[in-house]
Chains A and B, each alone.
Chain A
Amino acid sequence: AQSVTQLDSHVSVSEGTPVLLRCNYSSSYSPSLFWYVQHPNKGLQLLLKYTSAATLVKGINGFEAEFKKSETSFHLTKPSAHMSDAAEYFCVVSALSSMDSSYKLIFGSGTRLLVRP
């Protein structure tokens, strides 16, 4: 069965310093992976997605993630944090259901990013 584990429930960084949000996945096949962001009282916005093309994926707002099959990881990074990056981030895997052959999104538990001035 497919699953994702976000290794940190909270990450705190200073403005202007790098961001690293960690995600490990479990999948019996090469999965599609996504990072979504949720700002307070807002819906979820797609940051980036990996669908078996280039392993380094660039997303919006300067975020990028690297798919590492050997480590089963898909960590999200950004070189320099802005105050506006403060939000909750979800690592997501697309899981194939053997019951109905459909794809479902499986969400990690989320990482809350705090950016200090």
Chain B
Amino acid sequence: DSGVTQTPKHLITATGQRVTLRCSPRSGDLSVYWYQQSLDQGLQFLIQYYNGEERAKGNILERFSAQQFPDLHSELNLSSLELGDSALYFCASSPRTGDVYEQYFGPGTRLTVT
């Protein structure tokens, strides 16, 4: 158990809908990262927040957004969902930001768009 929690575990929704994925980092970790894992794209970095502020962006679509709250939990919002958004979404956390800090991954949220 990494100490990172994600809810919900599974999510099934229809095209065009909007969903929110939630992540609670390990106690004391200030950085939160979001990743998408799909069969065709593999594991891709989406976005990072550090202590409440956006720190880095990866291959995140404009339909997607995220935020980190004062208690350091984070939410990833996916809107106008398309079939291709079906994937596993992982959250990870690390104590700080920087390449020497390993990231601890949550169990993921499996999103199915029908």
At the interface, yes or no: B100 with Cβ under 8 Å from chain A? yes
Given A32-B100, A51-B100, A97-B56; A110-B105 close (CB under 8 Å):
no
Number of A residues near B (Cβ < 8 Å) is: 24
Tally A-B pairs: CB < 8 A.
53
Are A42 and B45 within 8 A (Cβ)? Answer: no
Number of B residues near A (Cβ < 8 Å) is: 25
Give bound CA distance, A44 to B93, whole Å. 12
Residue among A32, A46, A107, A110 making CB contact with B99, cutoff 8 Å: A32
At the interface, yes or no: A117 with Cβ under 8 Å from chain B? no
Are A44 and B105 within 8 A (Cβ)? Answer: yes
Within 8 A of A (CB), among B54-78: 55-58
At the interface, yes or no: B43 with Cβ under 8 Å from chain A? yes
Within 8 A of A (CB), among B68-104: 90, 92, 97-100, 102-104
